[in-house]
Structure 1
């Protein structure tokens, strides 16, 4: 019996009363619900126990992925969820255990780990089999689902059958989400799902980064296959079988009328007559999906125009020489106090500041304008343009996943109680319903793995475990994007390319929508237009030395998102991957910017992947350069966007280091292409301090490493690593003001207690140290502004805040992650405050700021600044600090921090308390090896 699954949703209007069809009156709803639910009552087919002789983890592999495996829902299930809050089977059964770790980790033991995680052993014991299925009646593949989580365990006797089953299972669990994202990747979301502001924002964000034509998508497939020999041919065969499985499920669910209910709510299917179609997937859809994933998680760098604007502001205030030094001190390109993943002192130089920069093309002051993307708006699109809601929605929806990323804690067996390495790691892909990732186990010829994959790209496990090894990744963010100033000729749409006036390519996507059940937005339309050059899409217009230019953005993965498929294929192949060396060799095939981690029973390993372009001598990657042959990437081919890339030996890598930590921090010494803010205080320090302490003590266990992760997940970075020095300044003299003294007392007590944002008890929805947390949340933006703006001046201060926001606390919805996104403390001014305050205190600072800012460098004046802003912050009410939003009422501190599963389908879930940890997470300790 095909599995009837549930689905979830990002159209907020779905929950608006009166948005359902007129025919859905009470009696009709009862009849419809009864009819659509009837298949769900059939009993699961019994199945024999799956063997797991190829599992070397010894029952010590665990994982978790909230909210649940099941991401499809029939129309009836969506309506019941909206009316009564009922949840389809396995739609949120991993959310509770995930949330409970926040209050349960202090009492954790090895035997309790799977209270908060799932057993990730291969196979399903016979007593735990919930269903067995032969998709489309095939005899060469079986899908078994377990009772606890509903995760599909796919076993094939042929390679084709195995991949067919993977596609079928993916569609069972995420068909609507996959359909949404193949349209996002093509810039066609509004035409597909309606013109809600969030939909407009999403398709605009991705279309600007990857404005691909159908020919571009097909070319990626052709090039990847042609350039990778037998592996490329196998990848194409796997993808074809995978697509066949997806389409077989589409046909079965359509004829059986158990397809996702969102197709009805968006007007693609008729609930009564079953009229309408669900489009089959094709090979280029996979590339469109991959382009979204690559843009979200695997592309670092860019921002050169904003860098130039802040440099110009610094030079305007201080003069060219001093202004450049001030800018460099805030940029922290290669900060000596930054926490490192490879901490053995080995140097991996990349993108260093050249002694004599060449080819810089800084804009004339006041000349920069962003290239318009959207044109010819009509109807509700015109209204969205006026209000700006599309951009706002995008910032608070999927784009939050781009910023809030993953972490890893890996300890060598030399320092564990068992002598075997231990890893606690996973990606932070944001919190969505359904989740962007899905769990699966795949066993077949040349494939043996269990773990998580992005929906629609799950022909291989992308993060997870093999027979005797596990792997994971964090986003590394090294710079693979450069901005070129192309000189215009003839008009605004021709440019000089190697001395010839060349026409830009115009790529357009015209979208129109009508009101749907799910979205009350009125009819509307617009056209997205991108002008492309050999140097990438146009992002800005400006003048440089009076010459008109277009600033373009060129990334090494542009037109090459699908190339990484070979690396994932190798990670799943037990005949290829035998140890840390072959692991590193596998991930070298992945051109996305990731930090990769590995653990088996004997070894650990790390490798930083990505196609790092070899830049021309003298080019500074931080700023725009002229689009001329002398400043291009070495051996760059403009037609194919290929170039010379740094060799694997130049990428940060390591085998069997004592321990590894990563929370999107600096990879290694002299690897200087990181985002802003990788200085003396970074959230990676929260892991570094805890793991180093465990390693120094020795005898690390799975329990102690999970506790270290969970404790860091509740820590307020500002309170743990910056607040003690702030209080040291304030307490340099007696505090006589009663308001300030009371605030200092509360803050000090919180620091002494551990500086965590934790509930008083499980489910209380009230913080211990609530007053101290409120005071710091209110104080931080006030103190940063008062500390730095007087010295920098308002123009430069504003320019720097455009490079890096002041704050990213859990409740700081203005930060790059957005509200209710979980991930926090990645971007902020904590390093600047830390270095400045230590300098004012007279303490040693490596890589300090160019000057002292707090109080002009005078301790007494700095103290007055801090006390004045602290008094102001202490006087603010909870309602002022936490003003409320679409999720929370004003003044609700716990709710302001809470994590919401952002709806990408029709099923909604409740909020959980804040934790700063990966979305998908593994806990592994292998006991043996092949």
Structure 2
């Protein structure tokens, strides 16, 4: 499968073989009568869900495309594929979400819910679509509203409430939940077929969390044992949630309204109903959590790649000068970086040590990646086979993993009402069904509405309580370290504290047959990971002439389930009552997230994650020797626990004038694992707009949404770097006609606002289309021409392995992939910005160690820019946008467009590009308890 077609094999579901061949598309309706509507959904004329205490005053809104309903019967899937029809509530949130780019400029507070949903608690009596008593229970009711079909779960007992949450989750996401419990176990191909994309998906996650069933159970035991009464309550909640899921499985099976994908993948028979849908169990929830933790909450790693680029720099320039060059590109603590905590407070973490100790850099040319895939005989898979699955892995869920999230929060001191305002949410990628689901949950000790990952929705994970809202962005601080374990005896033994110790081999064997979902031939393979006390083996090499295995140790390894306590607290109205109690709650979440909070009076921020306390002198950027002197402080390999930095040492704040976050640097001296936290970062798109609003005062919900939406359409390169490039070019008269014409178009685009917007709503054509095409073609050419001559090809290539040069919306080659929405997180914009400013003679803080564009000469740099600009201007739209399975070559709008990547049988239409959270809240509380 091409990198330009980032689809999962599950998106190729077709009519099952058991459906008679004479059944034509127009005849599919025969199947509809008994299959479209679950029998448990009973229309209710005059029933209403009583709203719990709601202090938002009708000023809380949210949105989650494409729609709440992520389950479809076989008949609904066949109708969708034949006629494009949609099940109820499958895509009713897609159009409002997709219309914001054309409607935001005229936005007012009164119009916000044209583009968002009312997120008030409860359902008005005239808006009740259905009422369900799941499993016939009297202690819980699920009410769904007419507009969105979101479940509003109200229970009179804690058990019944959680039972209802599980039932509602299965109603909306059963197939997706089943897919991801298999992904977490590395068993997707056995479940859904052996397409390369399915192989890649299970390999991507299982390599990072190669857990046995005993490991999964141990996480449950640990989370309970270490958390007292809350741990016991979490266990009871999870058990009730599981019972609700299984009750729906049984009801939908007997009623024959289970998801149609089970027929299309051979698990159920469409005629006889033979086959089973396996019940869920507690360890499935941990397997699901391991996937979500790997996607969003495990910052760090990459130490071997860092070492390789450092070696290349030292080879090019010598040890001393090469190290300086490397550090200037790494930008660990760039003084020009946009910060979330911008009041000057310092939070040192993972800083460069004065006297580095224990570094274990590989010998040049010795690094090889540890094989993961083997055939049934035990031989490592061929390069062709591993290449196919690696490509699939890189393009399946990378929009979720790389998409990240953003937040805009303004203190009441600067708003028109005097109450804080927040516009925030996770940018989790675009899928059908969506990875997240919406719900309201009200019961003893539970009061919240918002989004949760499917299969983990016993609590709302991102959303609102009675008088507060919270959200998160991925933070990326380094909780993963790489250790060089010295080998002894053979390649599968290593020295642990002086004793030759056998590695543990963890295996997973998968076999599959052809299914109607995928035409891949029958096959099988085995995945194999060697685990040490220092984590799984990722690379092998020599270091100082000694044979070593490089392992990755992360603090959340074997501890994904621990975060359940923090989410439980966030849903507890008796616990979260203030910024301080909010911060206390999220301190129990070991995923690497930035957390934001707003109520009617206060705002707050906290950076979560188990940040290990490293030994003195250890540089977190590079591999270190697996020796006691360089281990995490008080590390216990049996439990993978250690000393962690104190809560006060994590970036945190209450009532700062405003907060912005778009996966940028958190605070002064706080080093993240991400390259690119420099002078130009997509966080600047929010910073510039929010700072201007705050300076003017009188911020409203509409003005903050407009700031977000405006940033969501901005081309970061065009807004923050292109004007400086044009100043270099225009330092003398441009005489070449091709270059002059290109400069004119680019200048006009900058003057117009440097955004990628349609000529009119629904036109599917960009204003300033030529300028956009020219910049898309020019950026990679100018970066290469600007830096490669000075760095040399080896070092330039090594640095691009640390940080790709570009990530525009149309990019199929970048970390996020095509049609993914999220853009401009990864690129060389800061390097170009600093280098060009130096050429222009402007002041630069934290500049690059050397000058690159024209070796610092303005005229030579200008020549380089003009020559590459001419080349770019000559590229046709078809060359710049070559087309894929979604778009024809040359279709610029389509190349940028957002596609809901199918994880099931239902497909949706494209929407115009925008760079914003997938689930998003707009909140302004009017009062407080």
Q: Is residue 840 of structure 1 aligned with residue 851 of structure 2?
A: no
Give CA-to-partner distance per residue, 1:333-376, whole Å, 9 cap, x none: 00000000000000000010001110000000000000000001
The CA distance in 2 between the partners of 1:744 and 1:369, in whole Å, is 45
The CA distance in 1 between the partners of 2:727 and 2:841, in whole Å, is 12
C-alpha distance 280-215 of structure 1, shift in aligned 2 (>3 A): same
Give CA-to-partner distance per residue, 1:477-503, whole Å, 9 cap, x none: 000000000000000000001111100
2:762 counterpart residue number: 763
Q: Is residue 628 of structure 1 aligned with residue 624 of structure 2?
A: no
The CA distance in 2 between the partners of 1:283 and 1:397, in whole Å, is 26
Q: Is residue 644 of structure 1 aligned with residue 643 of structure 2?
A: yes
Q: Is residue 23 of structure 1 aligned with residue 29 of structure 2?
A: no
Contact kept, 8 Å, 1:378 with 1:526, in 2: the verdict is no
The CA distance in 1 between the partners of 2:38 and 2:489, in whole Å, is 66
Give CA-to-partner distance per residue, 1:812-846, whole Å, 9 cap, x none: 11000000000000000000000000001110000
Q: Is residue 743 of structure 1 aligned with residue 745 of structure 2?
A: no
2:470 counterpart residue number: 471
Shift, 1:378, TM fit: 9.5
Contact kept, 8 Å, 2:10 with 2:905, in 1: the verdict is no
Shift, 1:197, TM fit: 1.2
The CA distance in 2 between the partners of 1:11 and 1:20, in whole Å, is 17
Contact kept, 8 Å, 1:406 with 1:917, in 2: the verdict is yes
The CA distance in 2 between the partners of 1:608 and 1:602, in whole Å, is 21
Matches within 5 A, 1:286-325: 286-325=285-324
Shift, 1:292, TM fit: 0.2
Question: Partner of 1:145: helix, strand, or coil?
Answer: strand
2:850 counterpart residue number: 851
The CA distance in 2 between the partners of 1:223 and 1:164, in whole Å, is 23
Question: Partner of 1:511: helix, strand, or coil?
Answer: strand
Contact kept, 8 Å, 1:666 with 1:674, in 2: the verdict is no
The CA distance in 2 between the partners of 1:43 and 1:324, in whole Å, is 68
Contact kept, 8 Å, 2:487 with 2:495, in 1: the verdict is yes
The CA distance in 2 between the partners of 1:724 and 1:627, in whole Å, is 49
Shift, 1:46, TM fit: 2.9
2:9 counterpart residue number: 11
Shift, 1:33, TM fit: 3.6
The CA distance in 1 between the partners of 2:490 and 2:400, in whole Å, is 39
1:89 counterpart residue number: 88
The CA distance in 2 between the partners of 1:49 and 1:185, in whole Å, is 39
Matches within 5 A, 1:332-343: 332-343=331-342
Question: Partner of 1:345: helix, strand, or coil?
Answer: coil
2:611 counterpart residue number: 612
Shift, 1:918, TM fit: 0.1
The CA distance in 1 between the partners of 2:731 and 2:522, in whole Å, is 64
The CA distance in 1 between the partners of 2:647 and 2:381, in whole Å, is 49
1:177 counterpart residue number: 176
2:4 counterpart residue number: none
The CA distance in 2 between the partners of 1:272 and 1:88, in whole Å, is 22
Q: Is residue 506 of structure 1 aligned with residue 483 of structure 2?
A: no
Contact kept, 8 Å, 2:29 with 2:79, in 1: the verdict is no
Contact kept, 8 Å, 1:739 with 1:874, in 2: the verdict is yes
Contact kept, 8 Å, 2:10 with 2:192, in 1: the verdict is no
Contact kept, 8 Å, 2:469 with 2:923, in 1: the verdict is yes
The CA distance in 1 between the partners of 2:270 and 2:851, in whole Å, is 67
The CA distance in 1 between the partners of 2:387 and 2:745, in whole Å, is 40
C-alpha distance 235-106 of structure 1, shift in aligned 2 (>3 A): same
Structure 2 unaligned segments of length 5 or more: list them.
1-6
Matches within 5 A, 1:225-624: 225-376=224-375, 385-386=384-385, 388-624=387-623
1:880 counterpart residue number: 879
Shift, 1:40, TM fit: 7.5
Question: Partner of 1:726: helix, strand, or coil?
Answer: helix
1:729 counterpart residue number: 728
The CA distance in 1 between the partners of 2:877 and 2:41, in whole Å, is 51
The CA distance in 1 between the partners of 2:44 and 2:246, in whole Å, is 23
Shift, 1:673, TM fit: 2.7
Shift, 1:384, TM fit: 9.4
Q: Is residue 709 of structure 1 aligned with residue 708 of structure 2?
A: yes
Length-normalised TM-score, structure 2: 0.98
1:863 counterpart residue number: 862
Give CA-to-partner distance per residue, 1:253-290, whole Å, 9 cap, x none: 00000000000000000011110000000000000000
The CA distance in 2 between the partners of 1:912 and 1:442, in whole Å, is 31
Q: Is residue 202 of structure 1 aligned with residue 229 of structure 2?
A: no
2:155 counterpart residue number: 156
The CA distance in 2 between the partners of 1:553 and 1:688, in whole Å, is 35
Contact kept, 8 Å, 1:72 with 1:175, in 2: the verdict is yes
The CA distance in 2 between the partners of 1:686 and 1:152, in whole Å, is 35
C-alpha distance 569-37 of structure 1, shift in aligned 2 (>3 A): closer
Give CA-to-partner distance per residue, 1:881-923, whole Å, 9 cap, x none: 0001111110000000000000000000011100000000000
Shift, 1:412, TM fit: 0.1
Q: Is residue 118 of structure 1 aligned with residue 117 of structure 2?
A: yes
Number of aligned pairs? 920
1:3 counterpart residue number: none
Q: Indicate the RMSD between aligned Cα atoms, in angstroms.
A: 1.5
The CA distance in 2 between the partners of 1:428 and 1:13, in whole Å, is 21
Contact kept, 8 Å, 1:47 with 1:131, in 2: the verdict is no
Question: Partner of 2:153: helix, strand, or coil?
Answer: strand
Shift, 1:29, TM fit: 4.4
Question: Partner of 1:473: helix, strand, or coil?
Answer: strand
Give CA-to-partner distance per residue, 1:293-343, whole Å, 9 cap, x none: 000000001000000000000000000000000000000000000000000
C-alpha distance 41-571 of structure 1, shift in aligned 2 (>3 A): closer
The CA distance in 2 between the partners of 1:475 and 1:439, in whole Å, is 20
1:682 counterpart residue number: 681
